[in-house]
Amino acid sequence: MEKPPKITILDEKDQTLRKISKEVIFPLSEQDKKLIDDVIKYLTMSQIEEYAEKYNLRPGMGLAFIQMGIPKNIFIIVEELEDKKFQNYVVINPKILSHSEELVYIGEGEGCLSVNREVEGIVPRYARMTISYQDISGNKKEIRVREDISVAFQHEMDHLNGIIFVDKIDKKNPFKDKDKMREI
């Protein structure tokens, strides 16, 4: 892998992040397809320590188009399965079909490439969800996600609705209801 692609990620102070993303009409433009490829490459490189250090990349596993200032219902998740082996999810026009009653939270806290600071507190998330979405060709798909990938999907879907994870942390009691959820 050569250099990471140039991607501008908006900071949480940018009000663009508060916009509601729009339904994507197919076929995708060549520009959108290239950006999807660039994001996959960027997220992959950010999770490989040597590249992250060399290019000063903050490790990230997900990015929504709105975080780059583009209000389209698209997000990408790159999950490291084992050392330098990745599973990519390109999710377009997602909708939650069902979710578990069980709630979970990320023990060390959620992070976000748009939030450049430490944030204390827990974000309640569904442990499992079934999502309908479209792939890069516009084909309708369904996926069942669980645990950390379920959290990642919810985090990115929030972005599509103008919500940043810090909004979901109780300001007065950042660890509120911790005993009613399972830590992952």
Cα–Cα–Cα angle for 12, 17, 21, nearest 5°? 160
Catalogue the active-site residues. Answer: 156
How far is the C-alpha of 137 from the C-alpha of 135, rounded, in Å?
A: 5
pLDDT, mean over the chain: 96
Tokens 């990408």 belong to which residue? Answer: 76
Task: Report the percent of the chain where pLDDT is more than 90.
Answer: 98
pLDDT tens figures, 102-114: 999 999 999 999 9
Set out the domains of the chain in order of their start, with CATH numbers.
22-183 (3.90.45.10)
